[in-house]
Amino acid sequence: MKVLISQYIAQRHADTISQTAPDLALVPFVPTQPLPEEGQEAEVAFLSDDLIVMLHTAAGLPTTPPWISHLPELPRLRWVHTCSAGVDDPLFQRLLDRGVLLTNAIGVRRIPIAQTVLLMMLYFVRALPRYLAAQREHRWDPGWGEELTDKTVGIVGLGHIGQEVARLAKALGMQVIATKRRQVDVEWVDQLLPPSQLPHLLSRADFVVISVALTPETRGLFGAREFTLMKPSAYLINVARGAIVQEAALITALQTGQIAGAYLDVFETEPLPPSSPLYDLPNVVITPHCCDASPLNEARDLQLFLENLSRFRQGESLLNVVRSL
C-alpha cells in the first residue's frame, strides 16, 4: 500500500509511520512540484498541516500547487485524511464525488482555538486596547478594566471547540449559553438552544463566539439583522469560517458602534486583501487564520492518522469520517 505524504512529514516522521506499519510504502512529495510517478498508485493520502496551510492560501498563489488539482484524479486513491477540521474547500467535495473515503481532524485543535478565544475575551474585558494605545502614545492612563465573572458568552455551534470554550468560560465564572442542532445534556452549558433561537442568544451575550461549521445553512448567517440584535457592548469572535459572516455588514456594525468590537481569525476572502477596512478599525483584532496554531498539533495530527491507518488496514470503521459537505 502506497501512502502520499509531504516531504516535510517524511523528514520528521517517516520512521514513526514505518514502525506502525512496516509494509507501507511512503511516497513523499514536494507540494510545489508535480506528484512523483509512484504517487499515481497511492491508495492513501495524509494531508498534514503544512499542506492545509497551502490549501487555504492557494487562491493567493500565482499557480495552484499541483497536488491540489491532481489528488482527486489518482486512480487507486481510496482514503484521504486531512489535518483540517473544516472541509469546505472544493478539493474535498471532488474527493467525495469520486467515492474517496474522507476523514478530518475535528476536535484535534480545540485546545489552542479555545485558549485563543479566552485570550481575546480577556483582552477586551481587561481594557488592553486602551492600555496599549496609551503605551504607544507615551501616556499614563490607569483606566479601569472589568472581569469575565458573570459575563455571558454565547457560543454558536457547540461542537468540540464550542465545548472547550464553554469549559474554560465556566472556570472563570461566566454564564454560558449555546446553540446546537441536537438537544443533549452538555456539561458547562447553562442553557442550550436550538439554532432557531439564535436571536435570543445574541440579545443576551456579552461575547458571541462563532464555532459552527460552514454549511449551506450557516453561510451568511450573520448579517445586518444579527448585529442589530447584539448588545452595543458585545464583541464578536469568529474562529470558524469567514463566509459565515457577511463582512460588509460587520464592518458597518463596527464602524457605527452597533457592536463594541471583534476578534477575527477567518474572512470571506483569504488572504484578507490589504484594502480591507478591517485592518484599520481600532476595535478589531485580526489574525491570519492561525488561531489553531500550536507546536503540539503535529503530534496530535499524527496520532489520529496512525490510529485511523491501523483501522483502515484492518478493515475497521475510521474515526471522524466525513459523510457529506
Report the catalytic residues. Answer: 241, 270, 289
Is residue 4 within 8 Å of 24, Cβ to Cβ? Answer: no
Give the integer Cα–Cα distance in Å for 180 and 72.
33
Q: Which residues pair with 45 in a beta bridge?
A: 4, 80
Give the integer Cα–Cα distance in Å for 68 and 58.
9
Instruction: Spell out the SS3 assignment of 233-290.
Output: CCEEEECCCHHHECHHHHHHHHHHCCCCEEEECCCCCCCCCCCCHHHHCCCEEECCCC
Give the integer Cα–Cα distance in Å for 191 and 152.
11
Is residue 227 within 8 Å of 172, Cβ to Cβ? Answer: no
For residue 156, CA distances in Å to 148, 150, 173, 178, 183 come to 19, 19, 19, 6, 14
Residues 6+ away with beta carbon under 8 Å from 101: 78, 79, 80, 318, 321
